[in-house]
């Protein structure tokens, strides 16, 4: 394929999954039963719970609906200013614990350096000794495949093993992988590189996502300069340290949520 058209094909292929996912969501994904219950659509909420319930007994769906209705009053969402004030200015102890977990997980997810590997994979492979551009690009594809398979495996195991063990294993694995990568680059030819309420939930989630995206941008924009300053192996030693701190953070601050509904979070984080 000509070089001038190769990148266009790459971007065109990347444009295909979003509309397919959007169509799948519109066609197959039902509304959240909590969202339906908060708007008084209890029959629709019950239908969704029956459809998605783990157990065959309809009584289980009835119990879940009663629990949701008890915790989700059918009222208009609180004013934005009030929710932000309760979230950031005068948060309760429970809200503060949840917010620390949300922001901390988003921060450590990006600050551990995974985006540096994703964005600069061909460069890393070349630094490790791959001289062929095509080989480095194929290796980049392999990294993407492994990442996708890991996400699928985590999704399948989350309810079986629990979120907390997976987070601990993931953070520890990232730390070990970053140290291994640093050692491989250092000793394998790597050189210095030159050149609670629905309103609170929504706003807390958006704040955590914003922290994650900003951290991702900082890691992406500073990787080259940082590698030039402390060498590329040094970068991954730093990222390994961040991942190790993330492991401690998860162990100390993040409770296990397996088998718990959103209605249980206030009690869980109040401990």
pLDDT at site 74: 43
**Does the 78-269 domain belong in CATH 3.30.70.580?**
no
Q: State the Cα–Cα distance between residues 207 and 120, nearest whole angstrom.
A: 27
Q: What is the pLDDT of residue 1?
A: 59
pLDDT for 76 equals 46
Torsion of CA 134, 218, 95, 63, to 10 degrees: -20
**Domain parsing of the chain, residue ranges:** 78-269
Three-class SS string for the chain? CCHHHHHHHHHHHHCCHHHHHHHHHHHHCCCCHHHHHHCCCHHHHHHHHHHHCCCCCHHHHHHHHHHHHHHCCCCCCCCHHHHHHHHHHCCCHHHHHHHHHHHHHHHHHHHCCHHHHHHCHHHHHHHCCCCCHHHHHHHHHHHHHHHHHHHHHHHHHHHHHCHHHHHHHHHHHHHHHHHHHHHHHHHCCCCCCCCCCHHHHHHHHHHHHHHHHHHHHHHHHHHHHHHHHHCHHHHHHHHHHHHHHHHHHHHHHCCCCCCCCHHHHHHHHCC
Angle of CA points 242, 171, 123, to nearest 5°: 65
Q: Exposure string (b/e) for 46-58, b if CB count within 10 Å is 16 or more?
A: bebbbeebeeeee
Phi/psi of residue 194, each to 5°? Answer: -95, 180
d(CA 34, CA 70): 11
Strand segments, DSSP code E, in 68-143 are none
Predicted structure pTM score: 0.69
d(CA 30, CA 35): 11
pLDDT the model gives residue 245: 92
Q: Helices (DSSP H) in 129-162: which residue ranges?
A: 133-161
Tell me which residues of the chain have a pLDDT lower than 50.
Answer: 74-80, 190-196
């Amino acid at each position: 394929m000509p070089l001038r058209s190769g990148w266009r094909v790459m971007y065109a292929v990347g444009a295909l999954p979003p509309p397919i996912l959007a169509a799948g969501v519109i066609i197959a994904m039902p509304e959240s039963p909590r969202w339906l219950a908060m708007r008084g659509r209890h029959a629709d909420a019950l239908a969704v719970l029956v459809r998605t319930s783990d157990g065959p007994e309809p009584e289980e769906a009835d119990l879940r609906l009663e629990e949701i209705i008890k915790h989700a009053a059918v009222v208009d969402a609180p004013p934005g200013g009030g929710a932000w004030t309760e979230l950031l200015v005068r948060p309760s102890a429970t809200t503060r614990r949840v917010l620390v977990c949300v922001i901390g997980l988003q921060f450590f997810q990006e600050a551990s350096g995974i985006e540096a590997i994703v964005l600069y994979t061909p460069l890393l492979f070349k630094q490790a000794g791959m001289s062929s551009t095509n080989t480095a690009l194929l290796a980049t594809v392999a990294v993407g495949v492994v990442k996708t398979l890991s996400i699928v495996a985590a999704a399948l195991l989350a309810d079986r093993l629990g979120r907390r063990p997976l987070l601990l294993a993931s953070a520890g694995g990232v730390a070990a992988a970053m140290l291994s990568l640093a050692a491989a680059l250092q000793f394998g030819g790597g050189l210095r590189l030159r050149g609670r309420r629905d309103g609170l939930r929504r706003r807390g989630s958006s704040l955590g996502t914003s922290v994650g995206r900003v951290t991702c941008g900082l890691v992406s924009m500073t990787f080259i300069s940082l590698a030039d300053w402390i060498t590329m192996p040094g970068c991954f030693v730093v990222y390994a340290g961040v991942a190790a701190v993330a492991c401690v953070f998860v162990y100390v601050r993040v409770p296990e949520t397996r088998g718990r509904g959103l209605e249980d979070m206030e009690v869980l984080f109040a401990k």
